[in-house]
Structure 1
């Protein structure tokens, strides 16, 4: 079943909107600023690794390449420096720093964070192997015997071996094939061992040898780098959520059925007007009730904050979300965020296309509520297997009528072949068939991963640039 309708020619515009010729210019300027921040972060990340190596070479490391034995040791040291640099960059990417989030978004930050894991581990292992070989050649011992000798004679070295073992554990459990075998909470706890791995690696870096000896520039570089990472984690992973929770004092007011296996959780609090415009971006929620407080849930708002109220819409997709179906009114709620670029800040074009499937429809409702666009320049596509899973359909239809957007309802099971994001009877169509001004639009996609990938592939085949495509992952 496919339903489409156009809205009134002269819709009411919410306060604060600025449709018109200036919108495209504003979005271009905003997009350029974001891309400049992204380029700055890329250069900074590469420069940190280059600085680590350059300082080592400048502090006497270059002289170690005078012969093969010391050259192998120097390669081991360089591998360790770059590996440590990558680990610290990973921690900064996971620190939820607003500057990073506003430049590349949470999903992209965590994607890069994940991709750096293997190279960092390989470099740390290379560091250990090259040093055992280099020192072993000097002492005329094989690498295993050298390792035993170092373990017995260097008091802090056992911590370095523990650090390496912890890094291996974290990287292995982060592999998708392994990660899917465990509950999220187990993986999350294991992932926290990254901090223990960094801490156990610290003593031997500063106590063994002359690498970070007092008076050397690299010593101050690494101290500053470690302090920066520590302060970022404390500020944005610890203090910011606590401050936000106390500032807004959220509590559940009621839980309302929102369709097949889904509920809307309504909350009240104070100073919620500060969150206006966060539609589409997600918060991390903790419901402070027995059995729930230690679960954190990344949910987007399903309505823009209004009159001291927030709302999220949750579907029963597993043990964690199932427990929220019957959360009691009065339950206190901790939160942090908002995170991600799945919102207004990522816009680059005057047109907007919102494509959602299943529970992924709900963040689009909040985006639609505040998005800037001229009448007729927005298209909303709701995709579901059955009419019962067109979540918040009536609310979205009303908003489309008020804002001057076109809405399509695409209901039916997905085809195995062809354009797989569409119902079986429409797989010959493309996204451009629904959106005539597609190339002048930003496309927001929210839904299951394989389905979202199909929509994004369709949009790219129509000639859209990566900067025009925005999607929210529903996996971890």
Structure 2
């Protein structure tokens, strides 16, 4: 059956302070996102423009030169896109704070196939162009380049590595592979880039000393490598050493669901991250190398002014990796990266807020509810589960709603079919829609966290109710 629990704001409650100017914050963030998009595409144009400025257009004077020139252009654009892909996964605050981690990864994936096709076209067109000039077929030319030209074999190896990475990243293929295998193969992206770089500077004098091209490509290669080294390696090591997190206890919350409590230092630096996620590595035998993306399920609790305190994540047994976490021993050290993402107050654009969570996706909603600013009566929380037992941390959410003056609905019951599949079947039959629970949703920020298909249904319902794209904030589980 469907159950709905609604809490009204007590008339005697003191009103919470008004939050920050969210509309101005949203405009600033969207402007930064647009600026980053312009810079990204400008870098592609700039790479080609520099080649033309250094006399590249002269290659189009003959058939052989035309093929070679087109191949060079394809290679320049393809390599520029590859470096953009690496920057998108470098977890830099500039990109993460403007578009969010999920959207950055979405762009990263979309660039994968075009980059590969351009690099393949680069190799094929250059082989055809050189072959015409030397009277060889393309295959014979490739063999000759492999045998006779220094560093060319590295470029061919690089193409092979790129093919392996892109093929294993296709959704239908990735779902069939163990995560560990896919993760190791994906690390080959760095090897593919490293093996592609030498021939750019040594073959044909394309980036000869004294040219602007040479300085441009040196600069962006060094900048990309530095960003990856700093944000993917150095910062996590510093954060792990600084916070000194250890597991204090593992608390069962429901069948297959546990809360992992950790203690550490300087946890005041992590306060206000409610909803954002961290990458956790539990330094136990057989587990230390496996990264787990989990959000905090509560704001850190500080023991003293020095920042010593306790924080908590809540996880569900969804496979071998998460099943191991239910057996963690107290005292286990923890490495940490983050926080990442825009599932937080940083994404707010309105004073009103609607938070919708299902299953284990309720836990980031609980943390967000605890920390994001709103006045009593300006927040609505919807929790979805097949039963009350699947409304994880539901009692804590109820208490927070009472304390902060939010309206709470429990939506339980069997799943419905069709366009309103995010709602339980009895609610749909009763004519309920999203606006039935949140009539002001068209003027509210909407935070959605839960299984992917369910979340897509909620997003569609929010759009139908009048919410615009900048108001929709969704935390993905499948990246």
User: Do the two structures share a fold, i.e. TM-score over 0.5?
Assistant: yes
C-alpha contact (below 8 Å) 1:11/1:401 kept by paired residues? no
Confirm whether residue 34 of structure 1 aligns to residue 26 of structure 2.
Answer: no
Given candidates 73, 81, 102, the residue that maps to 1:78 is 73
Q: Which moved more, 1:305-314 or 1:396-405?
A: 305-314
Aligned residue number for residue 242 of structure 1: 237
After the TM superposition, which residues 268-347 of structure 1 pair with which residues of structure 2 at under 5 Å, given as runs?
A: 268-307=263-302, 308-347=309-348
CA RMSD, 1 decimal: 1.2
For the Cα contact (< 8 Å) 2:441–2:466, is it kept in 1? no
Q: CA deviation at 1:63?
A: 1.2
Task: Quote the Cα distance in structure 2 between the aligned partners of 1:460 and 1:252.
Answer: 41
- Distance in 2 of aligned mates of 1:440 and 1:198: 45
The answer as to whether partners of 1:156 and 1:203 remain within 8 angstroms in 2 is: yes
1:353 matched residue in structure 2: 354
Contact 1:302 1:363 in 2 (8 A): yes
What does residue 381 of structure 2 align with? 380
Aligned equivalent of 2:136, options 138, 141, 145: 141
Mapped to 2, the partners of 1:43 and 1:286 lie a distance apart of: 36
Partner of 2:246: 251
Mapping for residues 458-469 of structure 1, pairs under 5 Å = 458-469=461-472
Aligned counterpart, 1:54: 49
Alignment counterpart, residue 111 of structure 1, candidates 106, 131, 137: 106
- Separation in 2 of the partners of 1:304 and 1:367? 9
Alignment check: 8 A CA contact 2:358 2:384 kept:
yes
| Correspondences of 1:61-460 after superposition (within 5 Å) | 61-307=56-302, 308-427=309-428, 428-460=431-463
Q: Per-residue deviation at 1:155?
A: 2.2
1:277-317 CA-to-partner distances (Å, cap 9, x unmatched) read 10000000000111111111000000011211110000001
Which residue number in structure 2 is paired with residue 18 of structure 1? 17
What is the deviation of 1:11? 7.5
Instruction: State how far apart, in whole Å, the 2-side matches of 1:123 and 1:207 are.
Output: 20
Answer yes or no: is the 8 Å Cα contact 2:71–2:124 preserved in 1. yes
Q: Distance in 2 between matches of 1:124 and 1:418?
A: 41
CA displacement at 1:51 relative to structure 2? 0.7
**Stretch of structure 1 that moved more, 214-223 or 4-13:** 4-13
Q: State the alpha-carbon separation in 2 of the partners of residues 12 and 196 from structure 1.
A: 60
Q: Deviations over 1:115-171 (max 9, x none)?
A: 000000000000001001111110011111111111121121111110000000000
Query: How far apart, in 1, do the equivalents of 2:457 and 2:421 lie?
Result: 6
Tell me by how many angstroms 1:433 deviates.
0.9
- What does residue 305 of structure 2 align with? none
Q: Deviations over 1:229-261 (max 9, x none)?
A: 010001000000000011111001111111131
For the structure 1 residues 416 and 151, does the alpha-carbon distance in structure 2 shift closer, same or farther, using more than 3 Å as the test?
same
CA–CA distance in 1 between the matches of 2:107 and 2:468? 20
Query: Which runs of no fewer than 5 residues in structure 1 stay unpaired?
Result: none
Aligned counterparts of 2:136 and 2:17: Cα–Cα separation in 1: 74
**CA-to-aligned-CA distance 1:377-427 (integer Å, 9 cap, x gap):** 100000001221110000000000000000000111211224100001122
Report the CA distance shift for 1:394/1:69 in structure 2 as closer, same or farther (over 3 A): same
1:343-373, CA deviations, whole angstroms, 9 ceiling, x for partnerless residues? 1100001111110000000000000001111
- In structure 2, distance between residues paired with 1:18 and 1:309: 27
Is contact 2:249-2:329 (8 Å) kept?
A: yes
By how many angstroms is 1:376 displaced?
Answer: 0.7
Identify which range, 65-74 or 91-100, moves more after superposition: 65-74
Q: Which runs of 5+ in 2 are unaligned?
A: 303-308
**SS of equivalent residue, structure 2 residue 103:** helix
Greater Cα offset, 242-251 or 414-423: 414-423
User: Shift of residue 453 of structure 1?
Assistant: 0.2
8 A Cα contact 1:356 1:445, kept in partner = yes
What is the CA–CA distance in structure 1 between the aligned matches of 2:356 and 2:60, rounded to whole Å? 57
TM-score, length-scaled by structure 2: 0.96
